[in-house]
Every structure is written in structure tokens, then in C-alpha cells.
Amino acid sequence: MNIISRISILLVTALLSAAALGGCKGKSEAPLFLESNRKGGEAEAPVKDVPTDILSTQKAFSNVSKKVTPSVVNISTVSRKKFVQPFFETNPLFEEFFGAPQTRRSKSLGSGFLISKDGYIVTNDHVVRDAESIQVKLSNDKIYDAKVVGGDQKTDIAVIKITASDLPTAVLGDSDKLEVGQWAIAIGNPFGLDRTMTVGVISATGRSNMGIETYENFIQTDASINPGNSGGPLLNVYGEVVGINTAIVAAGQGIGFAIPVNMAKPIFSQLIQKGSVSRGYMGVTIQPVTEELAQSFGLKQAKGALVNDIIKGGPADKAGIRQGDVITALNGNEVKDPSHLQRLVAEAGVGKTAKISIFRDGKALELSITLASADNAPKQRQREERGGQQGEGEADLLGLIVEKAEQGEGVTVVDAVRGGIAAESGIKRGDVIVSINRKKTSTPAEYARVIQQAGRGGHLTILVRRGDASIYFALRLK
């Protein structure tokens, strides 16, 4: 094939390719993806009619985030902790040869929220406790050094301060008005992820006896709370702070706890004003009212706090409260259990006169009590179980063997038969039985007479002294 023929073939091929390309340009190219017409594209959204209430709820959450997030801060701390190998820690020669135990720096993260324009921040006490240095990061990414104003371990509340002005502040709501099922919104710094927002509901209120803090009245929520959320705000749909996120149940999903803001306000107010917290004090020891005790005392419900001992010269003693009284209300607030009374007294205020409702000998009474400061309360002596040699003889209907107490009135339990009525109820060897059915038992003879009079099927309310403590037990003879 000569050169002219080759050129002719190439020209024909080029013309055919151009014709083919020209034909392609006449057709519309398929798009790589579909874009919504809500953003200027041609495709319609898969769901056209979104219910108005859903859109309103979504908008409400967005508004809360925009309005409140600027007042939420991220807190990072550095502390120094001792680090010793277990062998050296118990070996007295370690420090002599190797010097003082080594320490290592420990970092932690938490959250908080601004309550004043000049830099006061509320957080958890455990977030900043023992910190060598504290840094606070605001929503505008500015970082400040902070100092601790005061902390309260019993409620796990602390206040820290940064030097700044004209800062965005949170608005405090009313946690007493919370109801189960209401929306709950948490904003914080979980796992170091800045200003994370989670949403859930109020799962429960008034959670206590959790073993987390001394004074407990937690809000429970299923809004996701994780390490780093501690100290951050729990919000309602109005963007008001209703709680301080504090703890989680590590073994459970969606179980978080927050301190109610109404409980926190007097605490952080005192911390700002004087750096510490003073609480009211009654001067009693108390125990729960069980169903058996309620029946024994003639109460309709197993509520309140049973006074099992009075500290002489204390506020309760001066007010006329007696051993065996059941405290049912304080300042009109019904007492649910001992921990509830403890919290009510602490919040009532030092030097304030409170109205206290009691149930005594089948009658409801009201007394006035002037609360003292818990800081001035006498230190409770260390409780020790009294010993007691096992005695000879047969156990009584309660499964007890008793003898005259060596000191003071009452009879000492020298043996409690395993499986007996008394032992099953919690009475132990070494306890001193002071009274039965509110009648003193000074001698074994008096004790035996009361037991005999009660007979089988009878109900007994027994007051026991155990070390420095007094405890009531409700038993039924079989």
C-alpha cells in the first residue's frame, strides 16, 4: 500500500470518529449523582411531606445548640499522682534507699458552663479535684488558665474562675418542675470531642441511695453521657440548665445521672461567696422505716425517718424530739427516707428555724427546731461491735441468750442462734437490748417477761444499742 492510500484511510477514520463524537454531543450526559431541588438540583426529596411537629422539634434542638453552646466550656486538667510498685509501697526500706515515691502526671477532661460574664464556671468537683493546673477552652477556641474557687465533695460540685469579661452565660431553670418523659439535652466534651450534643428524655427524678455521693437527688436521663461530659449542663427545650451531668452506669446503656440545678444553686452560691459549704444539722441518728416497723409504730405507710438516737444538747434534743419518733416532714416537705431527710436538713440552712412533723405514740405532732452547723457537730466515735462470750442455757423464742449488761441499762445478747427470728432480723451477739415495745428492759427477768407476754404471733419493736449506734428492729414471734 502506497503512502497516498494510507493517508486516505487515516482521513476516512478521522471523519468517522468526528461524526461519532458529533452524534454523542447531541445526546444529554447522564449525571453522576442526584441533587435535591431544595439545593438547586433537579431531583425531588424522597419524603415530600414531613410532619410539622417533627420539623418544629428539629428546629428547637438546633436553636438550643446555637443559643447555649457558647456558654459551655471544655476543661482539661493536669495532676500529679504517686506511682509505686506494690512491693516497694509496703517495704519501709524503699524510701530510705531509693528516695520518695515517684509521681507521674495525669491528664483528664471534663466540661462546665459559665454562670457569670466575668468568668465563674460550674463543674463537677471530681473534674478539678487535686489538679495542678486547669485550662478552659471556650466555644471561640480561646484558652484560659483557671483557678479553683471552691469544691464540695459531698455533692460533687465545684466552681472555677477564669479572668475574662463579657462572656456568654447559661440560664438556670427550675429542676423541681421536671417530669418523666420531658426532653433532655446534654452538651459537653465526651472523649475530648468538643461541644457534643446528645438528646434523650428525663427517665426519672429523685434518684438516691446510689452510692455515688453523700447527698443524692439525681435526675436520670437516657441522653448519652460519656466520660468528659462530667460537669456539663443538662438542658430542657427552652435551653435552660436543669442539671449538671455527673455520672453514668458503666454496665448499662442510656443510664446517666445529673445533679438537679435547684440543689446545686445554694452550693455553688456558697462556694463563690466563701469558698466552702455550711449545712444544717439536727443532732440525731436515723434509720429507714420498714414495713414491719411501720406496722409496729402504727404508721399507715413505710415512709419517714425513725430516730434511733439523740445527741444530748443538740438541736433535736432542745426541740423535744425523742428516741422512737418518726420524722415525717420538714418545712412541709414530706420525708421519704433518711437520705431525703438528710438532704432537706442540709439545704434548710444554718441557724434557721424549721417546722418538723413527727409521729409519736400514734399521734402526729409538730415541733420547731433551730438547725445548727454540721461543722460544729461532735465527731462520732468509732463504732465497735461489743464482744461477748457464748453463754450456756437455752435460747428463747427469739433465738437469743441474754445476760445483764455490764454497763448501763439493758441486756446483752451473748448468743444469737443462726436461723432464729432475731438473727434473721439482724440482731447480733454483743448487741445490748435497751427496750422492747418502747418499755425498758433493765434485767434479763424484765426481758423474759415481755417476750412471754407477747406470745407466739406477737409483734415486737426492739431497740438495740450497738457500739455508739442505736437501731430499731421489728420482729414477729412465730
Nearest to 144 by CA among 82, 78, 74, 193: 74
Phi-psi region of 332 (alpha: psi -120 to 50; beta: other; left: phi over 0): left
Q: Is 126 among the catalytic positions?
A: yes
Phi-psi region of 303 (alpha: psi -120 to 50; beta: other; left: phi over 0): beta
Per-residue pLDDT of the chain (478 residues; tens, 9 = 90+): 555 555 555 554 555 455 444 555 455 577 788 888 888 888 888 998 889 999 999 999 999 999 999 999 999 999 765 544 544 444 555 455 555 555 556 677 899 999 999 999 999 999 998 899 999 999 999 999 999 999 998 899 999 999 999 999 999 999 999 999 999 999 999 988 888 999 999 999 988 877 677 778 899 999 999 889 999 999 999 999 999 999 887 676 788 999 999 999 999 999 999 999 988 889 888 888 989 889 888 898 899 999 988 888 899 999 999 999 999 999 999 998 888 898 899 888 888 899 999 999 999 999 999 998 877 776 543 332 222 223 334 567 788 888 888 777 889 998 887 778 888 888 988 899 998 888 888 888 788 878 777 766 678 889 998 888 889 998 877 6
Of residues 111, 126, 224, 357, which has the active-site annotation?
126
Show the domains of the chain with their CATH numbers: 71-95+107-162 (2.40.10.10), 175-274 (2.40.10.10), 280-375 (2.30.42.10), 400-476 (2.30.42.10)
Q: Is 340 among the catalytic positions?
A: no
The pTM of the whole model exceeds 0.85: no
Q: Is 468 among the catalytic positions?
A: no
Nearest to 474 by CA among 401, 431, 428, 422: 422
CA-to-CA distance for 416 and 428, rounded, in angstroms? 6
Of residues 125, 156, 396, 431, which has the active-site annotation?
156
How, if at all, do strands 353-360 and 363-370 pair?
A: antiparallel
